[in-house]
Chain A
């Protein structure tokens, strides 16, 4: 499997290098869909220039990166393109290894459940075979590397790529079962952008499952392990934040990074839902609505944890998608990360109901983003409502995609345990509905 992966990597690197040398690089770097105030490359350069002039980079409202990024790019700023290409490759390799391991786990679990006779007799066609699962890791790496969203994000040199790679390493560490590494990477990811905090729950569930600790609220070993993991995570987070203090000898970075993420002061248009809403709102209500919008990201963790406690990796996928839809400054790089996981659930294809419409919606919206931006900003014949409409449609497409996958997953699970041909009490054919 190594050779095809290397081939894919080479192809991806070629595409990116070609785009870097072309004139599209400048055009893509300015697009708001890939460069948000949090991760635009221009701002990184500006922050480092300010530092060279002896001013704290957090003093204006320009730079919102964490101090570790300052440290990284202080030495690597001349090789920025290489850095981003390597980051993308690392992410893809991490995802590849993670999904390889995950497939083994899935297969083992399936075998166990078959032997325990947990499955209904007529579900032979639903069981996953090693044959069809053989190419999934390669497909995942392919999906990530050659996704146009990722390519554009890389050419724009948006630090979202670094964010994605940290999350990918976190997923790799979790699936391999190392609680310590997974806590460290999760702390790094949370330190970078606040939202991966919600990935704590699926990681914990996966690790508990791996240790064969049952998830009951009264069980002592459950709480012990949870406490261990939580303390590892919190300690690493505290250590990283204190270390960042020593870079510039000031706590300036906390309001600039986390205050900025949470309070959303910059309302530049992006593919998210925050900017238009808060541009129209009265000052009086903005605090309330900021809280409501931010809670929306974190809110789905508990119900999903309850429903998906047997399937933590799917939970992680759904959670990643929710983060990239509802976060305060989403970019296409975030979307690319969860889309890389879609091949893992390709066995759900027969249960997906709206996949054609949704893929059309997503593709059309991706094409319409630059068109309506041009109409609004340059031609002046449209206004922000047009662009926001496309944003809304894109997000609705994403949300429906996720809920479709969710439905398909739960439906397959139900069929596995209850048999493919469901009948109601009076004997007619029944249909599963997601309520």
Chain B
């Protein structure tokens, strides 16, 4: 999730797209990635290289291209949409690509970048998400069994404040800086004119370049990425809610889509099952009901039906009261002597 927009926040988009690329390289397909970007860099009028977003100076690597699938773009990147994606409380009309279709065996990686402060993260320069909201969203996910294990990485100023409030099990969190520290950007590119990357993400990506689907690198190595000498800020991590030992957690558990494959040398005969499948369909009687619409009245009859009778009638008490008043006024004005003529 990239939570900022405007040209000078180029680096946040580049961060997010680089992590997106690494994750795709390691095997996770687009259907399993929800990418939220403001997406106003590549076609920004200030971009001297239109339709590109570079993550490295000297324009080595274009992380934008026509195989980038952005799920929430521009003004759809809001706190509400983010929380809805996480908790699954999405209107029924949302397409599958915008949903987080996870279950209780899924490992989820959440990477967020942008501008933040002590306890909050700014979304699109107009609203904020607090660490309490995020912790509650994760708890909802836990209650609804939407994750098995969750890795939360955040690259903003004072990023550690965002994971302070988590209380759900099986969450591991990494942040680029502690409370009171700012995360700094890596290098500007004089050709494009803005900073291209943030330091923490830059070194994380360098680290990820060496990971391949079969590597056995574990989380402790990720915690060592970007020491203070390189990053200027102190990265932090939180593992107390995680039930396994971080030493035993593989990077590819979260960053890659690695399947456990068993190779077997036995042969299985499939004929029996295929026959079983085929026999199911012809014998089943599809009980067809008579089609209802043929039983309706013909149109000519419908249009000549009498209109519905008026249902509302003034209450009896009202009519009685009104006419009693009228009669009283009449007799008061014209005298009681008329009464005997009426009766």
Q: Which residues of A are interface residues toward B (Cβ below 8 A)? A: 51-52, 54, 68, 70-71, 74, 178, 180-181, 184, 239, 243, 246-247, 249
For residue B308, which residues in chain A have a CB less than 8 angstroms away from its CB? Answer: 52
A246 in complex: contacting residue of B310, B311, B315, CB < 8 Å: B315
State the CA gap A249–B314 with chains docked (Å). Answer: 10
Contact A246 B332 (CB under 8 A): no
Contact B322 A52 (CB under 8 A): no
Contact B314 A71 (CB under 8 A): yes
Contact B333 A181 (CB under 8 A): yes
State the CA gap A54–B329 with chains docked (Å). Answer: 33
B321 within 8 A of A: yes
Contact B314 A247 (CB under 8 A): yes
State the CA gap A181–B329 with chains docked (Å). Answer: 7
Contact with A along B299-326 (1 / 0, CB 8 A): 0000000001011111101110110010
Min CB gap A76→B, angstroms: 13
Beyond the given pairs A52-B310, A247-B318, 10 more chain A to chain B contacts, judged by CB atoms under 8 angstroms and listed by A's residue number, are A52-B311, A52-B312, A74-B310, A178-B333, A181-B329, A239-B325, A243-B318, A246-B315, A246-B317, A247-B314
Q: Which residues of B are interface residues toward A (Cβ below 8 A)? A: 308, 310-315, 317-319, 321-322, 325, 329, 332-333
A246-B317, A246-B318 as given contacts; A180 in contact with B333, CB under 8 Å: yes
For residue B329, which residues in chain A have a CB less than 8 angstroms away from its CB? Answer: 180-181, 184
State the CA gap A74–B322 with chains docked (Å). Answer: 15
State the CA gap A151–B321 with chains docked (Å). Answer: 34
Contact B321 A246 (CB under 8 A): yes
Interface of A, secondary structure class, is helix
A-B contacts, 19 of them at CB < 8 A, read A51-B312, A52-B308, A52-B311, A54-B311, A70-B314, A71-B314, A71-B322, A74-B313, A178-B333, A180-B333, A184-B329, A239-B325, A243-B318, A243-B321, A243-B325, A246-B315, A246-B318, A247-B314, A247-B315
Tell me the nearest residue of chain B to A70, going by C-beta.
B314
State the CA gap A68–B325 with chains docked (Å). Answer: 13
Looking at B308, B313, B317, B322, which has the most chain A CB atoms within 10 Å of its CB? B322
Min CB gap B315→A, angstroms: 6
Looking at B313, B318, B325, which has the most chain A CB atoms within 10 Å of its CB? B318
State the CA gap A239–B311 with chains docked (Å). Answer: 27
Contact B314 A74 (CB under 8 A): yes
State the CA gap A32–B332 with chains docked (Å). Answer: 41
For residue B333, which residues in chain A have a CB less than 8 angstroms away from its CB? Answer: 178, 180-181
State the CA gap A71–B312 with chains docked (Å). Answer: 11
Contact A249 B325 (CB under 8 A): no
Min CB gap B262→A, angstroms: 67
Min CB gap B335→A, angstroms: 12
Min CB gap B329→A, angstroms: 6
Contact B312 A180 (CB under 8 A): no
